[in-house]
Copies of this chain bind each other. A is one copy, B any other.
Amino acid sequence: MPVISDQPLHLTDFNIRTLGPARYVSPLQLAQSDSVGQAEFTRDHDRLLFHEDWELVRGFLARGEQPPTLELAGPRERLYFRPADVRAAIVTAGGLCPGINDVVRSLVMTLTHHYGVHEILGIRYGLRGFVSEDSPPRRMTPEVVKSIHREGGSLLGSSRGTPPVAEIVRSIQRQAINVLFMVGGDGTQRAARAVATALREAGSDIAVIGIPKTIDNDILFVDQTFGFSTAVSLARSAIDAAHAEAHGAFNGVGLVRLMGRDAGFIAAQAALASGEANFVLVPEVGFDLEGPNGVLAHLHRRLMSRKHALIVVAEGAGQQYLAEEQAGSGTDPSGNAKLGDIGRLLRSRIEKYFLDRDLLVAVRYIDPGYTIRSAPADASDSVYCQEMGQNAVHAAMAGKTGMLVGRVRGRQVHVPIEVVTSGRKSLDPGHPLWRAVLQSTGQPERMTNSE
């Protein structure tokens, strides 16, 4: 569900930096380009249109500009690194997300089996692993990663927070790492960019490849991040459980808090998949609790007519209500603003509202967060992670750096990290997904009292 910004992008926005001229022949046995019906190498000038709406593309052409395009991911015929010289490292940072182990497995398998790279370090517990003494890197081999995709979590461990970039750079240099894969969210990708820049300035020929990880699916320009499909599946189950609870109680109110700090994608898709939600609250669409057109009044009407109701709320929704309680609580180690718990707030506000009106309601609150984050990837996320790991290795071996691998409209592409970290993707209330949610829930398009 890509939401494409309407600001014009220029071709150069998406140009990828390479460490230097390709010097080695790839060991992959693929056809020369232009063969028909055979797996083949990808060429840098095979590019994908960034926009697919004809009006937008026509606009560029009318202005005499070339519409922006993206470089396709895939194996390159010539490499920058000689495989025998590569010493690779993998780090996974930030919160858990289904598929991390699949990505790590794919990186190790591709490096080993396809390029013959045998020096692979697994950095422990996120970026702190570059600077801490207590958890030395783990040697990664196909035997180690063979079955890890069947389990959730991260084999390497993860953590939030970024040590000083200079220390990371020193650690990379000291360990003689020349290919680095950084799996992580927004903060990690910003660190990746800083590390790539610092290395370049230091004259180090080290490829830094980002692999975006965010269960919220809020990475700009990338159509779906890994783990999102699994998260929606499990979120749907939580909604179904809340529905059973609400339906089984007199004036039962099911309340499910889902992931989504800044973007309501999981809440929207899971509510749609379930078909049982009556109200979906997301960060992108403001709402009032009180007042004649507030959420509580609508909930009241629903309960009077149907005796049960189901509310799905993204963790980042309705933050204005938590502002006072949370004043000054600051940020977490990843630098994200600490969010109050909108689920608990809603529960107490609902209970108070109906108590004030002498009505008995039974609120059932479900917060499946960690259960979802730690699940193994579903089949479609596994496929995605496997392809992404393969393409990240192809990019690194070709000497690309400062970029990440992502999927745009089903095709894997290269995107410069600075482009991706320039903002966050959010759910456009005008997007068909939100329209489908409104149609499915029957909730009012606006639940605010203001004019």
In the complex, chain A residues 131-168 whose Cβ is within 8 Å of any chain B Cβ: 135, 147, 149-154, 157-159
Knowing A379-B236, A429-B39, A436-B387, say if A151 contacts B150 (CB, 8 Å): yes
Contact across chains for B429 and A37 when beta carbons are under 8 A apart = yes
Task: Give the contacting residue for A242; candidates B114, B223, B370, B432; CB below 8 A.
Answer: B370
Contact across chains for A430 and B232 when beta carbons are under 8 A apart = no
Knowing A232-B379, A272-B383, A435-B30, say if A245 contacts B96 (CB, 8 Å): yes
Contact across chains for B430 and A244 when beta carbons are under 8 A apart = no
Cβ proximity bits A21-65 to B, threshold 8 Å, 1 near / 0 not: 000000001110001111110000011110011110100010000
Q: B residues within 8 A CB of A379?
A: 229, 232-233, 235-236, 269-270, 273-274
Q: At the interface, yes or no: A320 with Cβ under 8 Å from chain B?
A: no
Q: At the interface, yes or no: A125 with Cβ under 8 Å from chain B?
A: yes
Q: At the interface, yes or no: A76 with Cβ under 8 Å from chain B?
A: no
Contact across chains for A375 and B249 when beta carbons are under 8 A apart = no
Binds B, one of A181-189, A211-219, A438-446: A438-446
Contact across chains for B410 and A2 when beta carbons are under 8 A apart = yes
Contact across chains for A48 and B40 when beta carbons are under 8 A apart = no
Contacts from A to B (Cβ < 8 Å): 1-2, 29-31, 35-40, 46-49, 52-55, 57, 61, 67, 69, 74-75, 96, 100, 105, 109-110, 113-114, 124-126, 128, 135, 147, 149-154, 157-159, 223, 229, 232-233, 235-238, 240-245, 247-250, 252, 269-270, 272-275, 307, 362, 364-368, 370-371, 373-375, 378-380, 382-383, 386-387, 390, 409-412, 428-436, 438-440, 442, 445
